[in-house]
Amino acid sequence: MAKLAEYQLRANHLEEACANLDEAEQLAETTDEKMHLAEIIRLRGRLRQAEGDYGQARLCFERAIAQSSEQKAHLFELNAARDLAKLDAEAGVATQTLKRLRAVVDWFPAALDVPALAECRALLQ
Segments making up each domain of the chain, as ranges: 2-124
What is the pLDDT at residue 90?
85
Question: Quick check: 71 pLDDT over 90?
Answer: yes
In this prediction the pTM is 0.90
**What are the angstrom distances between the C-alpha of 77 and each of 15, 16, 118?**
25, 25, 15
Q: To the nearest whole number, what is the mean pLDDT of the chain?
A: 93
What is the pLDDT at residue 96?
86
> Domain 2-124: what homologous superfamily?
Tetratricopeptide repeat domain (1.25.40.10)
**CA 23 – CA 65 distance, rounded (Å):** 21
**What are the angstrom distances between the C-alpha of 115 and each of 38, 86, 103?**
19, 16, 18
- Amino acid letter for position 76: F
Mean pLDDT of 53-72: 96
